[in-house]
Structure 1
Amino acid sequence: MSDSAGVRRVVTRDQVVRGGCRFFLRHGMVDMDGLALTLAISRATLYRVVHSRDGLLGDVLWLLAERTLSRARKQRRRSGVDGVLEVTWRFVEQLRMAAAFRTFLRSEPETAARVLFNASAGVHPRAVSAQREILVEAGGAAESWSAATLDQVAFLYVRIVESALYAELFGGVAIEPELAERAARAVLTHGATAVS
């Protein structure tokens, strides 16, 4: 799309992702034609900048998740395993209350599963990396774990939380919150022994 003088509008990936976040929060999805119109660029320009809808969705979902996770981390009152679990359940509660996110999961379950769980979209690896940081911040057993152990515990922990949060995307039954917490606590409590 060009302006009235025929000059092509230039946008950065960051501008597109932030625009995608606003679009997602309003509509519970990202429609590429609608987003291009909102950003006053052509669809071709939009794809030139982001390459794929899945890639854009991954960046949008992670940016929104990162903001929520950052708030949960700032609100943490405990340390050690209890502090890690506190951050997780604050984050999970906020996601469960996010209307746009729930709309997306209901209306595009296959896309959601692909973007949230496949490494190529970038959400899962970033979630594991953030969880690793949370483990280190909380102290406790994590202080004595090797880097490899931290990576593996973070990965397992995130997968447990995902299983509880997105049971419908895995085609499973809803997991009781108490059971999910016991499983998550077990990974954190026995991680060093189990992984070493």
Structure 2
Amino acid sequence: MPAMESRRVVSDDEVTRAGCRFFLRHGTVDMNGLAEEMCVSRATLYRITHSRDRLLGDVLWRLAERMLAEARRECTATGTDGVLEVTRRFTGRLMAAEPFRRFLTAEPEVAARVLLTSAGGVTERIVAAQHEIFRAAGLPEPTDELAYLYVRIIESALYGELVAGRHADLALAERAAREILRRLSHDPR
């Protein structure tokens, strides 16, 4: 009687953590390479993650979430200035991350899809995080719509080269974001 093959059971969280490690080393997530590293089949990875885009989104969000938490902890300003300081610190870390820059350069279409559409689930999570940043900063009546607009303004500069072949102008995006936040909070600056 042939021996029964044992199946390795892995969780979504284990796949995301392994995906983060893979991404940090390679600037991408290759499903064959990740499956091999995890000693599971590609079919198992897809069963857990549903798609490479979704896994990339989970990986990018997990890594971004850490950077955002660090930016929030290091923030010294309050109110509108605090919101903008968190954004500056976060975008600075993001753009300094070599694996992230490699990913944007090597796979621009995938990066645009994962980062800017619902395919990767990143937008929804960053908008929710931004809404919480607004609330913590004491902005009056922050809404998901305002958080979405704010995120899109920053993304338009951050990913300008990716989307439109334009050089990133985070200073311009910050001025636009400041104006929106100023009007929201009735701050005369």
Deviates more, 1:89-98 or 1:44-53: 44-53
Per-residue deviation, 1:6: 2.5
Letter in 2 for 1:10: V
Partner of 1:128: 127
After the TM superposition, which segments of 4 or more aligned residues of structure 1 sit over 6 Å from their partners? none
- The size of the alignment, in residue pairs, is 184
Alignment partners' CA distance in 2, 1:167 and 1:72: 22
Distance (Å, rounded) in 2 between the aligned partners of 1:192 and 1:86: 16
Partners of 2:171 and 2:57 in 1: CA distance: 29
Question: How far did residue 192 of structure 1 move?
Answer: 6.2
Structure 1 distance, partners of 2:162, 2:168, is 12
Q: Percent identity?
A: 57
Matches of 1:188 and 1:24 in 2, distance apart?
A: 35
Asked whether the 8 Å contact 1:81–1:189 carries over to 2, the reply is yes
Contact 2:127/2:151 (8 A) holds in 1: yes
Query: Which string of whole-angstrom CA distances, capped at 9 and with x for unpartnered residues, describes residues 30-62 of structure 1?
Result: 000000001010111111111110010010000
**What stretches of structure 2 of length at least 5 have no aligned partner?**
none
Whether 1:69 and 2:68 are equivalent positions in the alignment is: yes
Residue 124 of structure 1 aligns to which amino acid in structure 2? T
The question of 1:152 aligning with 2:151 is answered no
Partner of 2:10: 11
TM-score, normalised to structure 1, is 0.90
1:190 corresponds to which of 164, 167, 183: 183
Task: Give me the whole-angstrom Cα distance separating, in 1, the residues matched to 2:9 and 2:133.
Answer: 37
TM-score (structure 2 length as normaliser) = 0.93
CA RMSD of superposed structures (Å): 1.5
Cα-to-partner distance string for 1:36-90 (whole Å, 9 max, x where unaligned): 0010101111111111100100100000000100000011111100000000000
CA contact (8 A) 2:35 2:42 kept: yes
Equivalent residue for 1:171, pick from 155, 164, 173: 164
- Separation in structure 2 between the aligned mates of residue 99 and residue 119 of structure 1, nearest angstrom: 24
AA paired with 1:180? Answer: A
Where 1:120 maps in the other structure, the secondary structure is coil
Answer whether contact 2:158 2:170 (CA < 8 A) is retained: no
**Cα distance in structure 2, aligned partners of 1:36 and 1:69:** 29
- Could you report, residue by residue, the CA deviation over 1:3-47 in whole angstroms, capped at 9, with x for unpaired residues? x97211000010000000000000000000000001010111111
Aligned to 1:173, the other structure's residue is in SS state: coil
Deviation (angstroms), 1:177:
3.0
Counterpart in the other structure of 1:112: 111
